[in-house]
Amino acid sequence: MTRPVAVVTGGAGFIGSHMVDVLVADGFAVRVIDSLIGGREANIAHHAGQADVVLEKGDIRALEPGSSLFRDARYVFHFAGIGDIVPSIEQPIEYMDANVQGTVRVLECARAAGVEKFVYAASSSCYGLADVPTREDHPIRPQYPYALSKYQAEQACFHWHQCYGLPVNAIRIFNAYGTRSRTSGAYGAVFGVFLRQKLAGKPFTVVGDGNQTRDFLYVTDVAEAFYAAARTPMTGQVWNLGAGKPQSVNRLVELLGGDKIHIPKRPGEPDCTWADITRITTDLGWHPKVSFEEGVRLILDNIEYWREAPLWDPSSIAKATETWFKFLGDK
């Protein structure tokens, strides 16, 4: 029997590679497109030799409608794009081009292929400094170009739904963490920073007092939510995605084990991120399965993955975030 086909953009990346795992486990043939700038071929290497997982190395901005990659595809999961706050402030054209125009390219390929569902990986950064717990109808207040680019791409997705009838859903991810997260690039997510510091026997660089909380959700739970968003008959929907149970940075340090030092609190960063997950649990019957403690243990079991990551200290962090303080301060 012919396997159903799904396309995963950014499928060699952090969340995308786990999406590939979910799809393969349910009998899909998966076609991955990834530039391999942030993603790693090793993330899907365990599928090597399987005729039903194909990797195309390339930039989504080079895609054209009618691409064979999308032929007969049932679902498209769109994770490809570029992240991080500071580089987006320094290179806004690149971010708008990759994240907005790149998304339009993927939308057009999906439309030409007549896919059954297009699921977009949106970002909770669109809310800015939000009231918590944050619902989907919260005012949109992006604070920096990355957030703006992700939200404008989300708007493009829903415009393609409205104008062309493309069956689209979007999920605004809060704080995903887990194995295979990015090890290269700019100073960014707390897990990558801390794991490399632990490997080096260095103290964790805790921003502010460490009491700030984040709605961390383990990556396999993220992938399962996206799969549910593809299989539902609902279209034109956007859902917030988190565990609905914020955890403090100090709690993370406690679970990782090690010394800590404090660095200055940064402007534009919320004290708390907290997704109201009422809609996604009600609409899709999805619920988080992996506890924070279990998720951190799974990461520690795979900590060697982060040995190649940059090793940050207070001095290098201060230099890397100069632009952050310059443009996001006093607002």
Give the residue numbers annotated as catalytic, written as ranges. 146
Beta-strand ranges (E) seen in the chain are 5-9, 29-34, 53-57, 73-78, 117-123, 168-173, 175-177, 204-207, 213-214, 216-218, 237-241, 247-248, 260-263
Cα atoms in the 13 Å half-sphere on the side-chain side of 157: 30
Burial class (CB within 10 angstroms; exposed 0-12, middle 13-18, buried 19+) of 246: buried
Using alpha carbons, select from 274, 101, 100, 83 the residue that is nearest to residue 189: 83
| Backbone phi and psi for residue 165, each to the nearest 5 degrees, phi listed first | 75, 15
Q: Which amino acid is at 312?
A: W
Amino acid at 166: L
Enumerate residues 6+ apart whose C-beta is below 8 A from 114. Answer: none
